[in-house]
Structure 1
């Protein structure tokens, strides 16, 4: 891409500006170092790239379509395209990362895979790939999320994965991640931890962003086919930990001509005390092995987040996104539960697409922005809404 190189990607030491790093207990130091020393050599090798690309095409169903949403375009006064990650195998962008990391685990000689999950899509994706590759699979999921995402729990079990409900904290994504890390500490030699988002100690944020960057690369050549140019004017995605957003923006992040808009979960309102708007509310701190923005009190204790969306219910943010926000490269819109649900119903009724609640937050940001009629806007629909139907019905506007 053209444009000035502003070095928004990770440094050799694992930092995005002042954010990132690897803050892990001694027992995991060797595991993280081995991964850091191995990941680029493996994922950039011809053998890995060939197998990964083949699986993305023949198993996951890539490329995912880039769809011109004509009625939504008229509604918001721009040329709006939707990147349809909801049409991937397992129903979201999570399959991209799961395929890549389980392949990496196999290259590193690991046979047991663990993962955390919130909305359940990462858990389903990891269990799917473990079934494909004959790997042992353990998924940690907060008790609250096992109840509101019951269908995904049963999918994981049907695929041969084991689900461990987590009872600590508010029993959501943060707590599932805590428990997965504890498992990793108990089994450092034979276990690979597949982190589902651009969070955690280096190299995970960079690894996940690279594996998900297939989204942005496809956007580039698909726009060339549709519009005769290889970049949008604006990219939009939801952020919890930030993996679909990272994949969407990765090829464009140093091109200042491309506007980046991230939508986070305001819950009941940013100042309501029931929110997951980390970029608005967070302060620098360490969570799950990385320095980033964290929702915390005056004593540095993590505050419990809240969102109607299980996948955005996280008190931190990926260090890549924290840096983009801190440096003014990304605009951030905090979208409430109500706005997200209304946006989901609007897309459903205008375009016949039922989005996941996570993606609905990105859709909910459209009304806060102003576009010109010729502006090319690409919004990533990171997952489909099947898993959220009970919530949509109970929260119907």
Structure 2
């Protein structure tokens, strides 16, 4: 990356005007300790070796790039490729940063790792990582998401984490974040809050991005080996934004590569039932940092909605906000109907059942491919598999 991107965030955790630490002074000291430990530990050869050995032998990295031949033929346009993060151990990209955070918490002598989860993929990945390194884990999850994502709930319990059902507010991801953060504040010295995306106060947007950058680093090398060039388009879904920033980060200096983040339009941008933060939001603070967010006239976060539990968050990673403002990345939307159609098309044309989150990016790839000549290429980050969503979709569509 150029100096412009390499130096972000700055020492105060800002990407341009987004990010930072909008938190009480006593919590700032704790966050600064985490940042200092991260900067010191993550650069050591021992940490890097342990993490990359786990990526290879535990997660199963590198995840392959697959040419979706039949899906491409159906669109009769640009070729669609998938970065198969769904093949990772635990079924999504989340394991990439969860291993890093669990190792860091262990090194710092923390007694418990806390986190929120929406679709449950972050929860499963963190419970897995904590079981591996031997540290207690507590996951907060909205009551609605617990019912909707039952397979992941079962996995978390089997892995030994303490699962907290959150029944306040919308009973979904935003409320799970609030609940987990309140528990964290009970003892921030001994607890470690493993944020599940590139959001929250500094240093979390930086840390999670760095751990997820393995996706883009691999994809850049793999695509050149496979095709002899870089992809023309990169697509990834955006809720908080971890899988997308992981893919995009290695290509930021490649001006010929167009990047598009796909947000959930839900039941429609003209309804309150969406989570299109970058499309409809405005600048404000949420959960300890500055970003675009969906808020009311008093600056309070609005209730948000997506058929994909992992995307219904009213804020978004600060680096995404910066990339939008400088027009390096475009942000588009896909609604529930388009998402479900892509879910079924990929399943039946390629035998790959995607996560509903990832299906948003697949849906946009299908639309885009139709508009492009056949020599163009689209690389989609297939961020997770749809085991967790299969029963819900089957019931929703009366299959």
What range describes the TM-score normalised by the shorter chain of this pair?
Answer: over 0.9
Q: Establish whether residue 204 from structure 1 lines up as the match of residue 204 from structure 2.
A: yes
In structure 2, the partner of 1:375 is 376
Partner of 1:345: 344
Q: What's the TM-score, normalizing by structure 2? A: 0.96
Q: Please name the residue that 1:245 is paired with.
A: 244
Is the aligned partner of 1:365 residue 2:381? no
- Aligned pairs for 1:211-222 (under 5 A) are 211-222=211-222
SS in 2 for 1:165: strand
The residue that corresponds to 1:387 in the other structure is: 388
SS in 1 for 2:97: helix
Question: Hey, what's the Cα distance between the residues in 1 that align with 2:25 and 2:180?
Answer: 16
The Cα offsets for residues 17-37 of structure 1, whole Å up to 9 and x where unpaired, read as 111111112332221010122
Q: Structure 2: where are the runs of 5+ without partners?
A: none
2:209–2:242 CA contact under 8 A, matched in 1: yes
Q: In structure 2, how many angstroms separate the alpha carbons of the residues matched to 1:138 and 1:327?
A: 38
Contact 2:274-2:306 within 8 A present in 1 as well: yes
Give runs of aligned pairs for residues 1-40 of structure 1, distance below 5 A: 6-7=4-5, 9-40=8-39
Structure 1 unaligned residues grouped into runs of 5+: none
Deviations 1:154-185 (A, max 9, x none): 11111110000111110111111111111111
SS at match of 1:176: helix
Q: Does 1:325 align with 2:324?
A: yes
* Mapped contact 2:91–2:385 kept (Cα < 8 A): yes
Q: Is the 8 A contact 2:9 2:15 kept in 1?
A: yes
2:334 match: 335
For 1:204 and 1:256, how far apart are their aligned partners in 2? Answer: 27
- Alpha-carbon contact 2:137-2:161 (below 8 Å) kept: yes
Which has the higher mean CA deviation after the structures are superposed, 91-100 or 22-31?
22-31
d(CA) in 1 for partners of 2:259, 2:276 = 17
Number of equivalenced pairs: 394
Does the residue aligned with 2:274 lie in a helix, a strand or coil?
coil
CA distance in 1, matches of 2:253, 2:4: 6
Matched position secondary structure for 2:5: coil
Q: Tell me which residue corresponds to 2:139.
A: 139
Checking the alignment, whether the CA contact within 8 Å between 2:98 and 2:122 is kept in structure 1 is yes
Give the corresponding residue for 1:269: 268
Deviation at 1:360, TM superposition (A): 0.5
Distance change >3 Å, CA 372–CA 10, structure 1 → 2: farther
Question: Displacement, 1:224?
Answer: 2.2
The more displaced of 260-269 and 367-376 is 367-376
Q: Do 1:27 and 1:185's aligned partners in 2 also have CA atoms closer than 8 Å? A: no
Q: How does 1:58-73 map to 2 (within 5 A)?
A: 58-73=57-72
Query: 1:193: how far off?
Result: 0.8
Tell me the C-alpha RMSD between the 2 structures. Answer: 1.4
**Contact 1:341 / 1:395 at 8 angstroms: preserved in 2?**
no
After TM superposition, the runs of 4+ consecutive aligned structure 1 residues lying more than 4 A away are: none
Aligned residue for 2:240, secondary structure, equals coil
Name which of structure 1's ranges 369-378 and 355-364 shifts more when overlaid on structure 2: 369-378
1:116-174 CA distance string (max 9 Å, x none): 10000000011011111111110011111111111211111111100001111101111
1:20 touches 1:292 (CA, 8 Å); kept in 2? yes
Q: Give the distance between the partners of 2:102 and 2:392, measured in 1 at CA.
A: 31
How far apart, CA to CA, are the structure 2 residues paired with 1:193 and 1:372? 46
CA distance in 2 between counterparts of 1:81 and 1:5 reads 30
CA contact 2:234–2:258 (8 Å) conserved in 1: yes
Deviations 1:32-69, CA, capped at 9 Å, x for gaps: 01012221221121110000000011011111111111
